[in-house]
Every structure is written in structure tokens, then in C-alpha cells.
Amino acid sequence: MRPLDFLGRIKVKLGIVIVLTVVTAFAVNEVGIGAGWPRDARIAVAAVLALIMVQLLAMGMTRPLREMAAAAQTIAKGRYGLRVSATSRDEVGELARAFNAMAADLGEVDRQRRELVANVSHELRTPIAGLQAVLENIVDGVSTPDLGTLGTALAQTQRLGRLTTQLLDLSRLDSGARLIEPEAVDLASLCHQAASEAAFGRDDVTVVSTVGEASLSADPALLAQVLANLLDNAVRHSPPGGTVRIAARHAGPVVEISVIDQGPGIPVAERTRVFERFSRLDAGRAAGAGGAGLGLAIAKEIVELHDGSISVTGAPPAGSGGTGGCRMVVTLPAALAGTVLPAVTETRPGAGTAPRTPAVEPVTETATELVTEPAIGPVAEPAIGPVTEPATEPATESATGEGARRGPEPASDVPVRRLAQPPGSGVTKGDIMQGPASEQQVPASAGPSRQDEPARTVPAVYVPPPIFPRPELPGVPDWLLPAAAAVGLVATVALPDPSTGLGLVLTAVALGAAIFPALLPLRRGRLTPWTVTFGVLAYALVSLTLYRDTDWVVAPALLLAFGIAALGLSGAGRGWPGLLIGAASVALSTLLLPWFLATPLKRLRGSRRVVPVLAGTAITVVLLSVFGLLFGSADAVFHSYVSGLLQAPEWVDRLPSRVFLLLVFAVLTCAGVLVTLRPAAEPQAPDLRVRLDRAVWMMPLTALNLLFAAFVAVQITVLFGGSRRVLSTAGLTYAEYARSGFFELVTVSVFVLGIVAASTMLLRPTRPGDRWPLTVLLGLLCALTLVVLASALHRLDLYTDAYGLSRLRAAVAAAIWWLAAVFVVVIAAGVARLTDARVTWLPRMLVLLTGVTVFTFAVWNPEARVAETQMAVRGVSLLDQDYLGDLGPEAVPVLDRLPEPARSCVLRDVVSVNRLDHPDPWNAWNLARVRAREVLERHPVLARPDCPSRDDGGYPD
């Protein structure tokens, strides 16, 4: 638990720690002065409590720094797996999260470095080995240096050249040596040109460009290389007879360029790694095709250089009207958006380009598609035959900007084949490679190159987090604000000012009804038996206000009901930290309401109806005031009517309190819905257990059990055996002996609970067999404590028989019964632990036990029991009129049995204290008050009873 994690500044945290420490020391000093402690004792206690306060509040503030120091030492040794736990929102938390991101990046870079070395070595070894084998065969005379052998050697050399060129491209892109030179690019022409060149990769694959006329701002050479790499990759992985399609569309301020094929596609788990260097889904196939796995990595670097993004998505499956395969999407910012003129260019090897414009209705959408789906049909193919010699065109330095670029070179290792043209076709090689003039790519800018400009380093500016960072919150239901307003209105009407009663129950029902709809969608995981039980128990405690009117009983019951209801809504309570957080979850969630309600309140303020209604109301008030004053001045009768109408009613004085109630219960409703939608996190309790030798804990626990056994033996022989032993040993009468010590025995039982809790939370047995002795010793101690509690309860009964029951004694008796039940539950939990069963039910079971105890105590009617025992033990002559006169309405039916004038003297005080002489409104209906008034109506109190004073010695017998 880190109590200050919600704050966003380390300075604010330190300030709060200092202030609360000073306040703690001051409070200890004041209490010590009042108790008469010496100065040294006050200083020592204040220092200890201040240190404890610092440890509790500063928990977790410096732990990330220690973890980062350890992680930095680990990273320095080349291990990058260690991470820092960052839960705070301040500068230390941001530093920890940045450290984790840095460690992850370093680990990823190290992994890529290792793979890069291995992959580059492999890629270089293959063509070098092939080239070496060819040359050795020639030298040894095995092969003759004919055209085919030299062509093979040349192909391997070209493969090495392409790999070197791609590595240089990546190096320049990574280092920033290659800067983009953006200009207006004719996207349609560039895409058509790329499709024309990609079509020569395979004879059995059709490449189609469906990009209409459009333009954007980009570096044409780099963008052409991206298209070439994507198209080459799509062509290589397309099935025989497949179609590769390139399309584009405007989507607001960006342009999306898609390359779609009909190949096997890319699995979802691998889509994030295809853009890594030397990444291959099918290493054997890629190597056979000559691919080095660098084309997509180069495309990603170029796209990111343009402030864009590239991703892989799945094309629509064949069964749903699509073609299946893979879809590469390049998103680039469009500084210039062109007019959509759909055109289709279907390109087959040797067929050139033939633009067609189908009749398509323009689509007016936000995302304008620069695509027109053509009906792909068979196209007459010319007689094309590949020449057996390899292509001899040199690879261009496409990513360096050095020299003129004639067209994008495919990033794959598939050689470009020369085509044998049919006689008289009139199509030359240059026409095929360059395409029509309208589709040639835009030339590079003739202006000065920006490569010569020095790189400007922009200093990083640290933006500190806000003091109260915005937390992650769920969406707000549309019905929340009306429901919160309705609950607030119910509270303003139903809650009475002086007394509790029916109105409080109605308000609680309305509050639950407003929160329950938020729980319905989550019922499968949230409506557990614990949640239902806590809800029923909370309403049972609230219902006490209908038939009990004693503040010292009703107020704790309502506070406990609020905590139990919050615990049920939060779903927490499997551990002690979760129990505390769950009970306070609704109160803590009120701090998050400014962020939670920001959106609906902003929408409400921005509504078109709110401003007109407010303006109309203001105009109406002004007009009525002006004309009302004029009419009142003109006519005396009308003036009297207006004066009577404007006279403030009685409820105006209570209006501020009613508005406050509306706001409080509206806030509680919103907080309850927030807790329901955002359950309290169940924190993991820190493992504080330490390994201790068996002698360290067995010896004191055994001695303590022997001491308790001796005390229990004495209690059995004395309290339950007679008074002769007491007279002979203590010199006290049996009554005097029995009436003393029950408070001390209750304190002993509380200490035993602390010992059991500390042993469970702090002791870790060193050997597996130590668990049984530890559990048995603690269980025996709890069983002996039950006998001690029975002795305390017996002593309290004897004391009550002698002096009567009081409120304090009744509360102590209830506490003894509750402690006994707690020890029984703890013993059951210990037995469950011995059987390796989980005991996560223990915290919630204790909460349930506490609620049932409070409810039973209230139903037992302690006020009536106090009056009965006081009357029975003291009699009329020794009756304490001041004490009985302070009892609640529940005692009136019992006090009515007193003889006069004692009856009237006592009931007069009860009536005055509880205001039973005034009728209650409907919302303050209470059964105890109703029965008390009925008794007083049947037997009215004497107007002037003869009540003795304190000095007279009481009432006569």
C-alpha cells in the first residue's frame, strides 16, 4: 500500500509527509502535557510516532530508485530482463517507467544486433560460397568460362551488391544522413509506374493499380522505393494466376496506400515482426527466392521518415467476397489533396499500361477512396520470352540521393528479365520500363539539397506531471447525472432535520436503486454471494433507524452499513489491505469525480438547450420584476397580493441545508457508480515473514500456553468452585473478587489476537514440519482465551447483578461475545490452513460477524435492558434520575412501570431530551418514538411532580 501514489509531484508528497509528521508530534506533545507525562517521555513518543508516520506515508517513494540502481548494475553486465515496479505518478514514477522502456529497448536492440550479425553472416556466406565454388571450378578446369558459368558468377555478385546497397540504405536512414526532399508527387503516375515495373517479376501474376489522380507531398524517390519493395514482396508471395492490387484513398488529413495480394497472408502474431531486419516467416522459401528480409525494413524507415506509418492487416477472406491474402497499408500525411478521377491500369508483363476510366458514381464520404474496382478479365498476352542471360542493369543508390534515379528498384533478389518483343510491336525496352509519359514519376527537385544543411538538435524540455494526474476511468453511463439528481432530490425531501427515521431508509433505497443498474452488466463476475450478503446486511443495519432512536447504537450501525455497502460494491476483501481499501472505496472515489464527470458536465454545459433555458429564465425574472413593481405601485390591492406571494415561506431558512444534502447524496451516487464500474484493486499484501528457528517461537508460545492454562485452572477452581478458596488466599469476599478484572481480561484477549496475527504474518517456518506445531500452539492459545473470555463475561454478569446494567457494561458484554466469535472463526481458519485450504474468506467473514453483532445488539434493545436492570437492582429509593432521564425512547415502556412521582420525574427528562412532546413529520417516523408517545398518551406525565433533589437522598420507599 502506497498512500501517496495518487499525487503527481514528489515535492507535494514530501510536503505532506513533513506537515503530517509535525502535526503528529504536536498532538503527542499536547496529549502528553494533558496526561502529565515528563518532557523526555513526550519527546521520545513523538519521535517514534513521527518516524512511523514517515515510514507509512513515504512507503514506495524511494523504492523505485533503489530498484533502478540495482537494475542499472544488471544492465551494465549485459542482462536486460530486470524491470522496476512503477506505481506512483510523480517524477520518480515517470523515471521508473522511462527506465523500463529504456531497458526494453536496449534488450530489443541487443536481440536485433545479435540477429543482424547472424543474418548478415548467413546472407554474405551464401553468395560468396556460390561464387567461390564457380571460380574454383574454373581454376581447377572442372568448368569452362562460358557465358552460362560467368552469368552464374555475375548473378551471385549482383546479389552481394544488392545486399550491400540495402544495408547502406538502412545505415543512412538510421543515421539521418538521408534527408527527405518533399515535393508535390503525382500519386497515380507513381503507382502506375511501380505497378508496371513490378509486373516483370513474374509472368503468372497480374499487377493492377486502381489509384485515381491525386497528389501528396513526399520525396518521390523514397516513396517509389517503398512501393517497389511492397509490390515486389506481394508479387513473390502471390499464387500462380494471382492478382496484386495497389489502391489509395484520402482519410482526412492523411492518404492511405494499400498493396493487396492473394498470397497465404501473415499470421496475426507475426505482423509486428515483419518489418524487422532479416525477418522471414518462411526462411527456406525466402532464401530460395533470393530475399534478404530487408525490403520491408527499408520501407518502414522511409515511411517513418515521412512522419507516416506502415502496418499489416488481413485482406477480406475469400468466403466473404474478398480474395484473402495480405494487405500492406502505408499512411502518409497529405499536404496536398488531389481530385479523385478514378482510373484503372492493368499491367501484365510486356503489355504496357492501358488506362481505363469506368463509369463510377462519385462517393461523398469523409474518407474518399482513390480506388475503382475494375472487372479483371483476361488480357491478350503478346509473345514474351525471357532471355536466358541475366539482367546487367546496375543497382541504383536509391536511398542516398546520389545520381539520377530512373525508377524504383525492387527490394527483392528476383532479377529483372529482358523481354523479347514481337516484330513490329513498336514497343522498346525503354517504353516498357518507363511507361507512358503521363505515368512517369515526377523528377526530383532541382533546388539545393538539404543534405548539406547541418542537423539541428532541439533540446529536450521536461514537462512535469500534473499534481493530480488524470487516472484511468471508465465511461460515464448516460443515466448517471439524472439518477444522481433524483437521489439528491429524494434526500432533500425525505431526510428530516433532527431525527433519523423513515426518510433515511427511503434515501438508502433510492441510492441503491440508482447504483444497481451499473452492477447488472457485471453480474457474472460481481454478483457473488459475498456481494449479496453484504448488501442485505447493509440494508438491515440501515433499517435499524425505523425502530431504534438511540444515537450511540444507530450512528455506529449506519457507519458500519456504509463501509459494508462500499465493500460489497468494490468486490474487494480477499486480503486485509483489500478489506481496508474496499471499505473506504466510495469515500476515496469522490476524489476522482472531477475527472469522471468532466465529459458529461462539459457536454451538459455545451448543450444547446441549457443556454436558451437560462437566458429565458433570466429574461422572465427581469420582466416580471419590472412590471410587478409597476402594477404594485399602481394598485394597493394588487400590492397586498404580491407582498403575500413574495413573503418567504418557512422552508427558505432550511434551503442551504437541503441544497447541501442534494449535493452530498448526488456525489455519493456518482461515487458508488464509479466504484461499481471501476472495482477497487486488490493490493498484494507484502510478504513480511522471516525465517526463524523453531526455538525462537516455540519456547515463548509454549510458555504463554502454560501460563494461560494455569490461569484457567484457577478460574475453574475459584469462580466455578466456591468462595472458600478466595477467602483463604486473597482476603476478599467472593462478590468483591468476582466484580473485578473483567476489563483486564478483555484486554488480554485483544493482545492474544495481536499475537496470533503477528505470528501468522511475520513467521515463516524454516522446516516443512514446523507448520503443524505453530498452528497447534496458536490454536491452543485461542481455545484457552475462550475460557478467559467466559470468565470475563461471568465476572461482568456478577457485577451487573450487583450494580445494574449501564450503556458501557452492555457494550462491553457485546464486545466479549464478538471476541469469542472471532476466536472461533480464527480457530476454524487455522484448521483450514492445516488442510491446505484457502482462507481468503477470513477478512470478509470477520466483517460479516461484526455487522451481525451490531445488528443483534441493536435488536436486543440495550436502552430497555439498562432501564430494567437499574430498576430491579437499585429500586426506587436508589434510582439515578439523571442517568435514566438521558435514555432513549426505547426505555419509555419500561420506565412507565415506576411509581409516581418517580415515573413523572424520570419521563419528564426523557421527553425533554428526545423531544417527544413535539410530533414528528412523516419522514421522521420511528417505531420507538411512536410507542413512547402512545405510552405517554395513555399515562400522561404529571405537570408538577414532587421530584427530590440530589441532596435529599432519592425517592422514599
DSSP symbols for 299-316: HHHHHHHTT-EEEEEEPP
Residue 522 confidence (pLDDT)? 61
The separation between the first and the last C-alpha atoms of the chain, rounded to the nearest angstrom, is: 64
Supply 942's cell numbers.
404529571
C-alpha distances in Å from residue 400, one per residue of 167, 175, 179, 224: 12, 12, 9, 13
Residues 6+ apart with CB under 8 A from 885: 905, 906, 908, 909, 910, 913
Give the integer Cα–Cα distance in Å for 522 and 675.
12
pLDDT (average), residues 131-138: 80
Full 3-state SS string of 908-957? HHHHHHHCCCCCCCHHHCCHHHHHHHHHHHHCCCCCCCCCCCHHHCCCCC
Q: What average pLDDT does range 526-548 have in this prediction?
A: 90
Residues 6+ positions from 99 with CB-CB distance below 8 Å: 68, 71, 84
The answer to whether 426 touches 399, Cβ cutoff 8 Å, is: no
Q: Are 586 and 664 in contact (CB under 8 A)?
A: no
pTM score of the predicted model? 0.60
CA–CA gap between residue 186 and residue 680 (Å, rounded) = 56
Please tell me the predicted confidence (pLDDT) of residue 2.
Answer: 65
H runs (alpha helix) in 402-479: 429-434
Q: Is 765 helix (H, G, I), strand (E, B) or coil?
A: strand
Q: Over range 743-761, report the average pLDDT.
A: 86
* Mean pLDDT score, 285-303: 64
**DSSP SS3 for 469:** coil
Contacts made by residues 49-57, CB under 8 angstroms, sequence distance 24+:
49/24, 49/25, 50/21, 50/24, 50/25, 53/17, 53/20, 53/21, 53/24, 54/17, 54/21, 56/3, 57/3, 57/4, 57/13, 57/16, 57/17, 57/20
pLDDT over 90, % of the chain:
14
The three cell numbers of residue 835 are 488442510
Split at pLDDT 50, 70, 90, the class of 606 is low
Instruction: Please list the residues that pair with 313 across neighbouring strands.
Output: 327
DSSP annotation of 408 reads P
| pLDDT classification of 398: cutoffs 50, 70, 90 | very low
Looking at per-residue pLDDT, the higher value among 117 and 198 belongs to 198
Alpha-carbon gap, residue 158 to 391, rounded angstroms: 10
| Residue 780: band (very low, low, confident or very high) from pLDDT cuts 50, 70, 90 | very high
Instruction: Tell me what pLDDT residue 322 has.
Output: 52
Tell me the HSE value of 20 on the side-chain side, using a 13 A CA sphere. Answer: 16
Lookup result for grid cell 492490387: 245
- The β-bridge relationship of strands 206-209 and 367-370 is unpaired
Q: What is d(CA 206, CA 502) in angstroms, rounded to the nearest whole number?
A: 81
Q: HEC string of 54-87?
A: HHHHCCCCCHHHHHHHHHHHHHHCCCCCCCCCCC
Rg (CA), the chain: 44
pLDDT, tens digit, 9 for 90 and up, residues 571-596: 877 888 888 888 888 988 888 888 88
Phi, psi of 333 (to 5 degrees): -70, 135
pLDDT band (50, 70, 90) for residue 691: confident
CA 483 vs. chain centroid, Å, equals 24
**366-380, 442-456, 721-735, 802-816 — most confident range:** 802-816
pLDDT in tens, 136-184: 888 887 777 787 777 777 777 876 776 677 667 666 666 655 666 788 8
Q: Which of 74-78, 446-450, 472-476, 543-547 has the lowest mean pLDDT?
A: 446-450
Are 720 and 737 in contact by the 8 Å Cβ rule? The answer is no
Higher-scoring residue by pLDDT: 250, 343: 250
Angle subtended by helix axes 480-494 and 655-677, to nearest 10: 140
Q: Would you tell me the crossing angle of helices 807-834 and 771-803 to the nearest 10 degrees?
A: 160
Q: How confident is the model over 733-759, as a mean pLDDT?
A: 76
Residue type, 131: L
Check residue 764 and give its pLDDT. Answer: 76
Query: Cell digits for 290?
Result: 533470393
**In angstroms, rounded to a whole number, what is the distance separating the alpha carbons of residues 853 and 817?**
8
Instruction: Extract the C-alpha cell encoding 171.
Output: 545505415
Among 315-324, 339-348, 433-442, 780-789, where is mean pLDDT lowest?
A: 433-442
Per-residue pLDDT band for 31 (boundaries 50, 70, 90) equals: confident
Category of 278 on φ-ψ map: left (φ > 0), alpha (ψ -120 to 50) or beta? left
* All cell numbers assigned to 552: 450511540
From 639-653, 663-677, 682-696, the region with the lowest mean pLDDT = 639-653
What's the CA gap between 858 and 892, in Å, rounded? 16
- Return mean pLDDT, the chain: 75
**Domains parsed from the chain with CATH numbers:** 1-143 (no CATH), 178-316+324-333 (3.30.565.10), 488-604+643-677 (no CATH)
CA angle 857, 858, 860 (to 5 degrees): 65
CB 928 within 8 A of CB 551: no
Q: Which residues, 6+ apart, have CB-to-CB distance to 163 below 8 Å?
A: 123, 124, 127, 292, 294
In this predicted structure, the answer to whether residue 227 has a pLDDT above a threshold of 90 is no
Cell output for 328: 500492406
Cell readout for 721 is 468452585
Beta-carbon count within 10 A of 368 CB? 20
Burial environment of residue 929 by CB neighbours within 10 A (0 to 12, 13 to 18, 19 or more) = buried
Confidence label for 369 from pLDDT (cuts 50, 70 and 90): very low
Q: How confident is the model at residue 130 (pLDDT cuts 50, 70, 90)?
A: confident
Q: Which residues are paired to 256 by β-bridges?
A: 249, 331
Share of the chain above pLDDT 70, in %: 72
pLDDT tier at 851, thresholds 50, 70, 90: very high
Q: Which residues pair with 332 in a beta bridge?
A: 255
- Decide if pLDDT at 738 tops 70: no
What is the rounded CA–CA span in Å between residue 555 and residue 545?
9
Overall average pLDDT of the 301-313 stretch:
83
For 38, list phi and psi in degrees, rounded to 5: -70, 165
**Concatenated DSSP letters for 837-877?**
---TTHHHHHHHHHHHHHHHHHHT-HHHHHHHHHHHHHTTT
Q: What's the pLDDT at 622?
A: 86
pLDDT mean over 492-503: 80
Helix, strand or coil, per DSSP, at residue 207: strand
pLDDT above 90: residue 300: no
Q: Please say if the pLDDT value at position 918 is more than 70.
A: yes
pLDDT value for 822: 94
d(CA 173, CA 297): 11
What phi and psi values does residue 220 have, to the nearest 5 degrees?
Answer: -65, -40
Summarize pLDDT for 881-896 with one digit per residue, the tens. 888 888 999 999 998 8
- Neighbouring residues of 553: CB distance < 8 A, sequence distance ≥ 6: 544, 857, 858, 862, 863
CB 430 within 8 A of CB 173: no
Q: What per-residue confidence (pLDDT) applies to 509? A: 94
Q: Residue 316: what are its φ and ψ, rounded to 5°? A: -55, 135
One-letter amino acid of 875: G
pLDDT at 195 over 50: yes
Please tell me the distance from the alpha carbon of residue 802 to that of residue 817, in angstroms, as a whole number: 21
pLDDT band at 785; cut points 50, 70, 90? very high
How far is the C-alpha of 633 from the C-alpha of 628, rounded, in Å? 9
CB atoms within 10 A of CB 824: 14
Q: How many residues does the chain have?
A: 957
Instruction: Provide the residue type at 288 as one letter.
Output: G
284 to 52, 280, 292: CA distances (angstroms): 65, 9, 11
- Residue located via cell numbers 433510492: 510
Poorest-confidence range of 86-90, 359-363, 655-659?
A: 359-363
- Which strand (E) or helix (H) includes residue 355? strand 355-356
Find all residues with CB under 8 Å of 156, minimum gap 6, and list them. 127, 128, 130, 131, 134
pLDDT for res 561: 94
Q: At 416, is the pLDDT very low, low, confident or very high (cuts 50, 70, 90)?
A: very low
